[in-house]
Structure 1
Amino acid sequence: MTAASETTDSDALPAHTRTVLDAAIADLGQGTRTWRALTLGQRRTLLRRLHATTAAVAEEWADVAATSKGLEPGHPLRGEEWLSGPYAVLVALDAYADTLGALAAGRSPLDGIRLGAAPGGRTRVRTSPLSTADAVLLSGYSTEVWLQPGVDAATARREAGLGQLHPTEPAEVGLVLGAGNVTSIPVLDVLYELLASNRVSILKVNPTQDALVPVFERALAPLIEPGLLRIVRGGGDAGGYLTRHPSIAHVHITGSEATFRAIVWGTADGAGSGSEREAGSEVGPVSDAEPGPEAGLGSGGAGRAATAEREPVLQVPISAELGGVSPIIVVPGAWSRADLRFQAEHVATMRLHNSGHNCIAGQVVIVSRDWPQRAAFLAELRAAYDRAPARPVWYPHSEARLEAARTAYPDATWCGGGDRMLVETTGEQASALETTEYFAPVLGVVDLPGVGQGFLDAAVAHANERLVGTLGANVLVDPATQRALGAGLERAIADLRYGTVALNAWTAFGFLTPTATWGAFPGGTLEHAPSGIGVVHNALLLDQVERTVVRGPFRPFPRSLSGLAHGFGLSVLPKPPWFVTARTGAAVSEGFTRFRMGGDGIRILATLLRAFRA
């Protein structure tokens, strides 16, 4: 969408479509009054109703989502759609309901939650596990939210609640432009708009999720019936019309930086990256040109130059989650053969989950060229990357992006039948890998010198300075090396300029944890928004957030017992169900979700037994 084409884009919409969109927004105007009239207790009751309606369609939701991605019944990776779809929404609804319950009783959502100090004058909030169920099902994993430097514990407790601290203030009508890759994202974004900002929403679903609209309408009926939500379909022309509608007070998008620029500046400059994630589907006719190094998320030099002296065409505030190139820093240590194999499968999962069509997919593995086990680790990584179950590369334009990567790296290794690319490179050759979010099964390995703290510090600096985006970073380090690094490891975590940092875990665990926050590292602007502006999820409704830190077990059960005495946590999972190599991952992921649907303790025991056969 160019500035000159704005009127044309709107006029291109059929009159009937404009009438439907206008009517939906008008309905939401009444919804703002309804929301304002609800007490905190009534809002909590509403969330409980949403839990019931979501549970009622969970099986259909997972089935439609999996089938739409080419995962037929019986496919071992169908469990991804249980966890990243209805499971994520159910646990979020429970967490938000707990927050509203605390506020309704006159308490802070942080009452009873442990707060402590983090490096650099920060306060950390222990955000999971907060229940016995989480402590058992996800044993060994935890999350904490670090607040911005200078925010003390008393302030954190006092300000937790965001919009729900002032529930009677006038509500607004916002637009949510839904993501096309992960099915829970549009729903979670709608919930956060409503609860963090008292903002009712018109949700425009990405065309890749059109098949789920009937499921969404039934799951979200308690929001739709009183006019708190309207769901519409459409392409870029409908998105463009909605972003410029005079009754819209705020826009939220999960998508590409090119689409973000099109919304804010009315320009398709650098739009090659728009096809990376949204295929130009959200707003305006974004180009389908494929990404090269110059179009990488966060590099955006051409786009920023084009907008530097221009007034934004968007007249309302915007928040966004825009992805990025995520590092996986492998800290050298003395690893067993089992460690090498497990962590290789871990890295393969970070890239191959959802066929690589994730904003948080790991893309650049940073290893030490001085690590004696480097060759052994890379051999295990190639094997794990190759043996993961076959699946379609389904997201629009993915084949062309794979071809662009093939052109940039003609000597790369192709795995999994030829649709997964593994690049081992150094120096300037890594430029395309580090500046292009491929949003496809492309994984790169970059060497740096050093061991110990020297390597870790160099890897952190490399990730901060060379990789585009600030959404998430992963660090893998064995317990012995972790003990040796001590405070230096915590300092390195603080130095990583990413919205989520995962230690011995994948940052997607932070996405899946409702009481964690999800979004770019603070500092994004309209002119330059690497990975976006603001956060979502955040079911404790924390204010002045800087990042989420995820911690997980370096070793699975029973080998995790070796780290328990040193305080590194005990995992009862032999292999997490989200690993692409977990043989029982589909059944366990479904079992986890069904437990969240109804809390059947007997059923979850059977699920845990299946987990032991992963």
Structure 2
Amino acid sequence: MSTSFDTAGIDAALADLTQGEKTWAATDLRRRRELLDELHAITAREAQAWVDAARVIKKLDADSPLLGEEWMSGPMTMLAGAQALSESLSALEQGRSPLDGIALGSAPGGRVSVPALPHGVYDKLLLSGFSADVWLKPGVDAGTARRKAGLAQLDPAATGGVGAVLGAGNIMSIAPLDTLYELYANNRVVALKLNPITDPLLPVFQTIFAPFIALGLVRILTGGAAEGGYLVNHPQVAHVHMTGGAPTHDAIVWGTGEEGAQRRAAGTPALAKPITSELGGVAPVIVVPGEWSAADLKFQAEHVATMRLHNGGYNCVAAQTVVLAADWPLKQQFLTELRAAIDAAPTRTAYYPGSDNRVAGALESYPGTARANGRVLVENLPTTGTPLLRTEYFSPVLGVVELPGTGTEFLGNAVDFANDELMGTLGANLIADPATIKELGGALDTAIANLRYGTVALNSWTGLAFLTPRASWGAYPGHTLDDIQSGVGVVHNAFLLDDVERTVVRGPFRPAPRSILGGEFATTPKPPWFVSNKTGTGTGRKLTEFYGDGKIRRLPGIFASALRG
């Protein structure tokens, strides 16, 4: 086989991992938990170095308010994930289920729900008013859920070979968290190949995973598509997991060009091993009409702008289509606030490769829709047959669709539109004021159940599920290799639950103190992940420090910073 790169390094790494699998099989639950605790401690020490490297990758100024995104979606999320997994391992080590002591709930359709947020008193303090529940597939009862929680760690000696993880290039905690999920949920040792964008983080990741690397359980590789192709097709690799876009997935599974098309038509994949994936899509924001104040309109416009512009728009679950009621009396006022929020969001460099071309493609399809700072807002979109509904732009491009009806009629129309017209099933967002929620009653619960998405968020952004370690993260189940949509399988899921269907997130419609004045028991001010939050960087750093050492004395500083946001 002729290659333009050195295959020896990959071969050596996989040989090491093949031996390391024997070590992993012989490693008991106590030592597995200790490895997580060691990783947690190192991550806390390396958090600043992590954010410094991410700042270079994303071309952010040292004093940018957007660095809060890197603290929260980087080391903070990694710290939370490692600690939550450690707690599950501790339960298993003692012969208990990770769900012991957890009061399971119910969801529409006879489903069992597992509370992922809040988990403990600090969640209740730091994210007051927010919740997340993992819904299991219909037919799974509570006893089965408890018995199967733990996944591969229920039989740690039964390892699953070498897993190849193709890391993402957008959110810096994705690759290391996916590595932990392979190790613990699937009991596979891991060859992690970084996306070339994230190569500056290689020294940080090598340091964080040093305890695993020393035992031959993890190897971290670099390189581009050629190295990735060689890795995933290597005979010593038993399974592939990737995060990215559907075109990349299809190129890996079927091949490219005419040969790839022929393989796909014949149903004969080029990849001769199983693959799981977390891919993107066209995420909707369904805005349920109601009687909103001027402050409500402004806050929720900033909320929607955040769903699109967080991380520059380079998120798999970034909102791309806003669904409005055509006859909502406040529609034009909301759109005015949305335009203002998009234009006022901090400027940033388009760091992700191909972004400028994707924006240019959107402007070619929708001329005259450019806004400030390289952003695109397409209003009055057709409800079918238009590129924005079927193309994940992965850039600061947002569309607005208007549908008929009010109340339950609009909600039903919006759910059908999201399910039938939009590409992908990773996440869907709904926004509704408390009075409207009360008026809709069970119809809102039905709408949430009918949305075929891996995460559904009401008055929150689905991105919160990504930050919540015990929540599941992935597409709605049922996709196939020849129609992959947003992928197959889940990650994060620190309870190690089997039979996961989705995560449902809920948050307050208003920030404190307006939330309390409006009858919502929630004391959270403007969330620190909002692109309009003035103290997001300071709050994100303080939260990361707290997740690193758990010192109660840090809480007043977190609250003070958050309130100034």
Q: Give the alignment's TM-score, normalised by structure 2.
A: 0.98
- Aligned pairs for 1:378-393 within 5 A: 378-393=335-350
- Give the C-alpha shift of residue 12 in structure 1: 1.9
Letter in 2 for 1:256: G
Letter in 1 for 2:255: G
Are residue 55 (structure 1) and residue 49 (structure 2) matched? no
Q: Alpha-carbon deviations, 1:26-84, whole Å to 9, x = none?
A: 11011111111111111111110000111111111011102221111101111100011
Counterpart position of 2:450: 495
- Give the C-alpha shift of residue 590 in structure 1: 0.7
Are residue 608 (structure 1) and residue 565 (structure 2) matched? no
Counterpart position of 2:488: 533
Counterpart position of 1:579: 530
- Give the C-alpha shift of residue 428 in structure 1: 5.1
Are residue 559 (structure 1) and residue 514 (structure 2) matched? yes
Letter in 2 for 1:589: G
Q: Alpha-carbon deviations, 1:444-490, whole Å to 9, x = none?
A: 11000111010001000000000000100000000000001111101
Are residue 416 (structure 1) and residue 372 (structure 2) matched? yes
- Give the C-alpha shift of residue 304 in structure 1: 7.4
Aligned partners of 1:159 and 1:543 also within 8 Å? yes
Distance 1:211 1:268, change over 3 A: farther
Counterpart position of 2:225: 236
Aligned partners of 2:384 and 2:421 also within 8 Å? no
- Aligned pairs for 1:304-383 within 5 A: 307-383=264-340
Are residue 128 (structure 1) and residue 128 (structure 2) matched? no
Counterpart position of 2:4: 13
- Give the C-alpha shift of residue 100 in structure 1: 0.4
Counterpart position of 1:100: 89
Give the distance between the partners of 1:65 and 1:133, measured in 2 at CA.
27
Q: 2:15 aligns with which of 26, 30, 35?
A: 26
The count of aligned residue pairs is 565
Aligned partners of 2:80 and 2:469 also within 8 Å? yes
Give the distance between the partners of 1:263 and 1:429, measured in 2 at CA.
30
Larger mean CA deviation between 390-399 and 601-610 belongs to 601-610
Give the distance between the partners of 2:532 and 2:257, measured in 1 at CA.
40
Aligned partners of 1:161 and 1:542 also within 8 Å? yes
Give the distance between the partners of 1:569 and 1:195, measured in 2 at CA.
37
Name the SS of the counterpart of 1:575 in structure 2. coil
- Give the C-alpha shift of residue 502 in structure 1: 0.4
- Aligned pairs for 1:103-502 within 5 A: 103-268=92-257, 307-412=264-369, 414-417=370-373, 419-427=374-382, 431-502=386-457
- Give the C-alpha shift of residue 171 in structure 1: 3.8
Q: Alpha-carbon deviations, 1:101-137, whole Å to 9, x = none?
A: 1111111111111212211121111111111111111
- Give the C-alpha shift of residue 603 in structure 1: 2.1
Which segments of 5 or more consecutive residues in structure 1 lack a partner in the other structure? 1-6, 271-302
Give the distance between the partners of 1:133 and 1:574, measured in 2 at CA.
16
Q: 1:80 aligns with which of 36, 58, 69?
A: 69
Aligned partners of 1:328 and 1:365 also within 8 Å? yes
Percent identical residues: 55
The 4+ residue runs of structure 1 with deviation greater than 4 A are 303-306
Name the SS of the counterpart of 2:220 in structure 1. strand
Distance 1:538 1:316, change over 3 A: same
Distance 1:269 1:402, change over 3 A: farther
Give the distance between the partners of 1:445 and 1:315, measured in 2 at CA.
41
- Give the C-alpha shift of residue 89 in structure 1: 0.5
Give the distance between the partners of 1:131 and 1:13, measured in 2 at CA.
52
- Give the C-alpha shift of residue 416 in structure 1: 2.9
Aligned partners of 1:36 and 1:171 also within 8 Å? no
Q: 1:597 aligns with which of 548, 551, 555?
A: 548
Aligned partners of 1:50 and 1:222 also within 8 Å? yes
Aligned partners of 2:383 and 2:401 also within 8 Å? no
Aligned partners of 1:430 and 1:446 also within 8 Å? no
Distance 1:165 1:304, change over 3 A: farther
Letter in 2 for 1:579: F
Name the SS of the counterpart of 1:445 in structure 2. strand
Letter in 1 for 2:508: P
- Give the C-alpha shift of residue 426 in structure 1: 3.2
Name the SS of the counterpart of 2:289 in structure 1. coil
Q: Alpha-carbon deviations, 1:342-364, whole Å to 9, x = none?
A: 00000000000010011010000
- Give the C-alpha shift of residue 269 in structure 1: 6.8
Q: Alpha-carbon deviations, 1:150-206, whole Å to 9, x = none?
A: 101111011111001111113411100000111100001000001111001101100
Q: 2:500 aligns with which of 528, 545, 549?
A: 545
Larger mean CA deviation between 431-440 and 259-268 belongs to 259-268
Counterpart position of 1:3: none
Name the SS of the counterpart of 1:139 in structure 2. coil
Give the distance between the partners of 2:98 and 2:484, measured in 1 at CA.
30
Q: 2:465 aligns with which of 503, 510, 516?
A: 510
Give the distance between the partners of 1:201 and 1:478, measured in 2 at CA.
45
Aligned partners of 2:163 and 2:189 also within 8 Å? yes
Aligned partners of 1:499 and 1:522 also within 8 Å? yes
- Give the C-alpha shift of residue 562 in structure 1: 3.6
Name the SS of the counterpart of 2:386 in structure 1. helix
Larger mean CA deviation between 422-431 and 358-367 belongs to 422-431
Aligned partners of 2:254 and 2:261 also within 8 Å? no
Aligned partners of 1:304 and 1:528 also within 8 Å? no
- Give the C-alpha shift of residue 600 in structure 1: 2.3
Distance 1:421 1:225, change over 3 A: same
Give the distance between the partners of 1:305 and 1:607, measured in 2 at CA.
56
Letter in 2 for 1:588: T
Aligned partners of 2:457 and 2:506 also within 8 Å? yes
- Give the C-alpha shift of residue 306 in structure 1: 6.1
- Give the C-alpha shift of residue 305 in structure 1: 7.9
Give the distance between the partners of 1:190 and 1:366, measured in 2 at CA.
36
Give the distance between the partners of 2:255 and 2:562, measured in 1 at CA.
50
- Give the C-alpha shift of residue 604 in structure 1: 2.4
Aligned partners of 2:309 and 2:396 also within 8 Å? yes
Give the distance between the partners of 1:525 and 1:334, measured in 2 at CA.
42
Aligned partners of 1:261 and 1:268 also within 8 Å? no
- Give the C-alpha shift of residue 563 in structure 1: 4.8
Give the distance between the partners of 1:95 and 1:249, measured in 2 at CA.
27
